[in-house]
Amino acid sequence: MTYINSDKEDGCVFCNRLNSPQEKDRENLILVRASLGFVMMNKFPYNSGHLLIIPNRHVPDLRNLSDEELLSLQKMLVLSLGVLEDLYHPDGFNVGMNLGRSAGAGIEGHLHYHVVPRWNGDTNFMSVLADVRVVPQHLRTTYDQLKLAFSERGIP
């Protein structure tokens, strides 16, 4: 609800983060910068470790990407799954993207994958009763753990 009710910044949130200095990566939750795409944490995660994989180029649809961009995003996806698996040992993952507002895209002009680690029994009553999500780890702590894990594996 915080995201839904918050004032929206001018321009594209992803382009704004990508174009900010690397010294602000922790503040902006950017974990990996590659030549054709980047990985960042979701500021309003569904679960701990909820990642976004985003092309550097501002495009709304997969069909607008080059073969090189598509391959780069897939490599970042594979890397992200491996990091999350090693660090958090989830029971599974939700991986996908919402293309278009009617499909649930909150940022529809700049496509992005969601990677959400899942654990058996990770749903609870809080989101039904209070419109809140319980995430068991502070966002900055999660960032620091993930940043180290990504840096140990290298950039695809």
How confident is the model over 96-105, as pLDDT tens digits? 987 777 766 6
Instruction: Please name the fold of domain 2-153.
Output: HIT family, subunit A (3.30.428)
Structure-model confidence comparison of residues 156 and 11, the more confident one: 11
Find out whether 76 and 37 touch, Cβ atoms under 8 Å: yes
3-state DSSP assignment of residue 54: strand
DSSP state of 62: G
Which entry of 50, 58, 89, 112 is annotated as an active-site residue?
A: 112
- Residue range 51-100, pLDDT digits in tens: 999 999 999 999 999 999 999 999 999 999 999 999 999 999 999 987 77
Above 80 in pLDDT, residue 119? yes
Per DSSP, the residues of 67-109 read HHHHHHHHHHHHHHHHHHHHHH--SEEEEE---SGGGT-SSTT
- Beta-carbon contacts of residue 93 (< 8 Å; ≥ 6 apart): 81, 84, 115, 116, 117, 118
Place of tokens 């990091």: 83
Q: Per the confidence metrics, is the pTM higher than 0.85?
A: no
Is residue 127 very low, low, confident or very high in pLDDT (cuts 50, 70, 90)?
Answer: very low
Distances (CA, A) of 149 to 1, 85, 107, 131: 30, 11, 27, 32
Is 50 a catalytic site residue?
A: no
Question: Are 87 and 145 in contact, with CB atoms under 8 Å apart?
Answer: yes
- The C-alpha atoms of residue 125 and residue 36 are separated, in whole angstroms, by 40
